[in-house]
Each structure stands twice: as structure tokens, then as C-alpha cells.
Amino acid sequence: MSNQSENVVEVKHLCKYFPIKAGLFNRVVGQVHAVEDVSFTIKRGTTMGLVGESGCGKTTIGKTLLNLTPKTSGEVIFNGSQRIDAMSHNELRAFRPKIQIIFQDPYSSLSPRLPVGEIIGEAVREHKIVPDAEFDAYISRIMKSCGLFDYQKDRYPHEFSGGQRQRICIARAIALNPDFIVCDEPVSALDVSIQAQIINLLEDLQKEFNLTYLFISHDLSVVQHISDTVGVMYLGNMVEFASKEEIFANPLHPYTQALFSAIPVPDPTVKMNRIILEGSLPSPANPPEGCKFHTRCRNCKGVCKRVAPKTLDMGNGHTVACHIYDPESGYANEQ
């Protein structure tokens, strides 16, 4: 690797808005605030879990990091110096092998017209990852690393189970020798027993190839198992970020506390202290004033409805965006 920066990914004040068009002339009449002022870093060889409800902006962040969806504003920096959001078309094309994605639905992300060997090897050949003479042996080695067999090269995606298809998607990603992989809910469409196999495979490959992951999921048990750091998203904002140990032992934001209270405990004698969120998720096209979570928060006070909270550093890399912990917000003095 040309640059061994400690952080593979640095995201600074990332925003992504989608235009809302209407009328005869298809004019822009509003914006969907999919991602708003999100910042974080991912250290080399680690996994960052990204959690939150559906529609909170998790997948949009993943696609924006890879420039599959162009950002509205902010910076995305790889390996300490490479601004992917500022690259030209040719620069981005040359850089593509270093950043890969594993999609949620393995079947729809695989071409039904290509055999597995060609699916895995198509981009390898295009980017000249290995000499032509070593191509077949290289593809066989990658397939073996992902729990696939050499004789399966000539088979088509419809001949495989869901778990095997996801292994093909993983093999296609790691065949390009990437530094960073976005895992967009890679196990949510699989049976629980198969989920465990895929998670273990991802962990083994991370050690073998020194990979760095952004692991997007709504399954907190999986995130707790695989992640080193965890970010919690709500309506386009990152409301809390910390190491896995810190955030699961001491969740600070009321939304994080509500999410974590829903994690099932495999003990029928343990009483669950569920925090039930009232109301529905507001529209990202018309987010509420002040703190976006105030419409569902049991700790809401007047300042929460008027002023957006600052992101506070609580120590040990633990950040939270909530007025409760800001002595300057005036939260403690309100009734």
C-alpha cells in the first residue's frame, strides 16, 4: 500500500440531499435531508458498525463514501490524503479496486448471464490485478478463501443458495485486493445459521487481507459481535459514536438507549426493560426544528424543540449529540 495512514477513512461534515421535483416543469420544490453533517473515522484493519432505523441514511452514507452517489457537501478522505469526492473520472476508475461494496441482496447484485468464475474475475481482468497466466489460479485461490470450490466456476448464480451467493459477492469484492469494503446489511436476507457463517467468513478475511469494513446493519447483536466502533444514525444525523465496549456498556443518547433496550436476551427469567418510542419517524424531507429526535424523546424539554444539539466529546472517543449532556444548553434549568 502506498500510504499507511492510521485511518483508512476520514469523513468530515458529510451531507447528502436529494431533490424533490414536482409540477409540469419538474422544478425542485424541496430537499430530502438523507445525510446531514456526519463526521467519523475508521482505523485500518477495524470494523465500524452503523446502526439505525430504516430510512435513517445508513446506506446513503455507504454509497456516498464510495462515490456511487455524489455528495452534496463535506469531505471523504482515504488513506490520509486521497479525496475520493474530488477525483476525476479517470482517477476514480483507477482507484476503484481499493474500495468495494457487498450488497444486501446477493441475487440481484449478481449477473444471471455470467458464470461465477467470470463474475469474480471480470473486474480482476479489467484492472489487471494479476497477469493473464496467473488469472485462473488466482480466481481459484480467492474462491477457496471464501468457502467456494473450483468446480463451481462454470455454474450460474441461480444454481446456488442464498449463503453461497453472498460468498460469491464477497469473493468478487476481495478479488480486487481492496483496502476498504462497505458491507451493506450483508446478512439480513439470510437464515440465522448462515448469518453466523458469513460473519465468521468476514472476520477471517479481515485478518487474512487486513481489510477495513463499514458494516451497515439493523441487527444490533450482529453489530456487537463484529464491530470495533459503532455509530448510531437518526434521520440523517449521527447522534452517538463510540467504541463497541463503551457504547453497549454506557449508551448516552435517548435514541441509542431505546434501540439497545430492544436487544433480546436469551434468558426467559430476565425481565426486559423496553423503552418504547412513541410516534412515527418524521419525514427527512421536512425534519423537525431543533433536535430531530425531540418528537419521540421521553426527556424532551423546550430547548430540544428550538435548538439543534452540538456534538459533544464525552471522553475515550465517545461523542453524543444531546442537550442533556451540554451544560451550556440550558437543558438542566428548564422544566
Distance of CA 116 to CAs 142, 170, 191, 200, 281, Å? 12, 12, 22, 22, 41
pTM, full prediction: 0.92
Percentage of the residues of the chain whose pLDDT score is greater than 70:
98
At 40, list the grid cell.
467519523
Residue type, 309: P
Mean pLDDT in the chain? 92
Given a cut of 50, whether residue 1 has pLDDT beyond it is no
Q: What is the mean pLDDT of residues 93-102?
A: 94
Residue-level pLDDT at 2: 45
- 3-state helix, strand, coil split of the chain in percent (to 5) is 35, 25, 40
Q: Let me know: does 254 contact 293? Beta carbons within 8 Å.
A: yes
**Cell 427527512 appears where?**
284
For residue 335, what pLDDT band results from cuts at 50, 70 and 90? Answer: low
Residue-level pLDDT at 62: 95
Give the separation between CA 50 and CA 58, rounded to whole angstroms.
Answer: 7
Given a cut of 80, whether residue 171 has pLDDT beyond it is yes
CA 37 and chain centroid, separation = 16
Given a cut of 80, whether residue 271 has pLDDT beyond it is no
For residue 263, what pLDDT band results from cuts at 50, 70 and 90? Answer: confident
Q: What is the mean pLDDT of residues 13-25?
A: 92
Q: Which residue has the higher pLDDT, 320 or 266?
A: 320
Give the separation between CA 103 and CA 298, rounded to whole angstroms.
Answer: 35
